[in-house]
Chain A
């Protein structure tokens, strides 16, 4: 199956939106607060970019024996519930939806679905994965991608931006993603 699937979350600091400033779902170019979400199912291009390794020196730092034991941080239990955080704490909690341009990649079409909510991810949008050239656009609620939602909620509950480790397994995410796409008829 295809190699890479990507999800973009674009977190913007809220602009000075006044309540009631809502744009139509197909407008482009709105500025300010936002989260952008998209998935890519894309193919190789010919960009050649290299990033050399950082120079790394072995200094003469003291050979401190690593200590074992619990770290000196408190670890309150991390909730994995799927309750969405309240959005009533900000004044600019207006949701805007913008559909961006489509870009042709080798394996399929990508389109960007921008969901704009002040500071927090409340939905992951997947738009326009083409099936034989049919352009369709649909937003998929984050709730239908359990693993991604779980990750996002956990991240937001623990005030972290990302997670390193294997909880975000490729297989799990792929299955969730495909399931979500099937539900809305995009796969």
Chain B
């Protein structure tokens, strides 16, 4: 399996591409390090060893405990709809790690002094800055009924994560019943931190309307849920943008 990461860097400030490369290298290193530590596809990653009980949390790299702590917060905030401990095979924070790692990688690019940057890790997006002249990033959200066409566009300041039944290779499990089921075809959450968005999007895809209400009450995070029947529900400040074609 491979995770595709794209970096889009916007450079109104005139940074030369060569000057940017060292920052890119650092960002890529962060991603690879996270993959090395957390990949459940790697038999000897610290997380895999932890899951098999071969090492204790104290013996694992400190970022494992850090991520699991963040997962505890997300589980509590989502009333248990995001629950990495409810998955078969032992604790699996993968749904949080993808966003967390991308957010960490993005932090490496901030000092490059570009106008803005977007990291897209298989559909989970972290960003800082903008297009320049204060024009915000615009991000499309895939229509789950007809990919790759778009359901809508949003103005992005920060991060957006999308979870859904149509994702390849992901099994979203209802943590209360243990069944693989989703209540939304697609669940997108925007906010400042991609790891948190990731957790909320997972919770929303599984928990549906109840989770949407929780997000409505959560400062700085907004959500859009698209049902299998195409119906849409969203929190009151979800940052819709016009889906337009340039002339």
Interface residues of A (CB under 8 A from B): 1-13, 15, 28-29, 31-32, 34, 36, 40, 42-51, 53-54, 56-59, 61, 63-80, 98, 100-101, 103, 112, 114, 150-151, 154-171, 173-174
Contacts A54-B220, A154-B140; A165 near B245 (Cβ below 8 A): no
Leading 6 A-B pairs by shortest Cβ distance? A165-B142, A167-B148, A45-B29, A167-B147, A44-B36, A54-B192
Interface size on B, residues (CB 8 A): 106
Q: Which listed residue (B3, B17, B106, B213) contacts A63, Cβ 8 A?
A: B213
Which of A10, A44, A156, A173 has the most C-beta atoms of chain B within 10 angstroms of its own C-beta?
A10
Cβ of B218 within 8 Å of any chain A Cβ, yes or no, is yes
Q: For B231, list chain A residues within 8 Å (CB).
A: 68-69
Cβ of B20 within 8 Å of any chain A Cβ, yes or no, is yes
Cβ of B2 within 8 Å of any chain A Cβ, yes or no, is yes
User: Do the beta carbons of A163 and B32 come within 8 Å of each other?
Assistant: no
User: Do the beta carbons of B216 and A13 come within 8 Å of each other?
Assistant: no
- CB interface residues, B 172-195, toward A, < 8 Å: 186, 188, 191-193, 195
User: Do the beta carbons of A100 and B31 come within 8 Å of each other?
Assistant: no
Cβ of B21 within 8 Å of any chain A Cβ, yes or no, is yes
Q: From B131, which residue of chain A is reached at the shortest CB distance?
A: A161
Cβ of B75 within 8 Å of any chain A Cβ, yes or no, is no
Q: For A59, list chain B residues within 8 Å (CB).
A: 217-219
Interface residues of B (CB under 8 A from A): 1-12, 14, 16-18, 20-21, 24-26, 28-33, 35-36, 39, 41-42, 63, 66, 70, 73, 77, 100, 103-108, 118, 120, 122-125, 131-132, 137-144, 147-153, 156, 160-162, 164, 166-169, 186, 188, 191-193, 195-196, 209, 212-213, 216-221, 225, 231-236, 240-246
23 A-B interface contacts by CB (under 8 A): A3-B35, A4-B35, A5-B4, A6-B5, A7-B4, A45-B33, A49-B104, A53-B193, A56-B218, A58-B217, A76-B244, A78-B149, A78-B245, A160-B153, A161-B156, A162-B139, A164-B123, A164-B139, A164-B142, A166-B166, A167-B142, A168-B148, A174-B2
Contacts A161-B138, A165-B144; A73 near B241 (Cβ below 8 A): yes
Q: For B149, list chain A residues within 8 Å (CB).
A: 77-78, 80, 154
User: Do the beta carbons of B28 and A40 come within 8 Å of each other?
Assistant: yes
User: Do the beta carbons of A155 and B140 come within 8 Å of each other?
Assistant: yes
Q: For B18, list chain A residues within 8 Å (CB).
A: 28-29, 100-101
Q: For B166, list chain A residues within 8 Å (CB).
A: 166
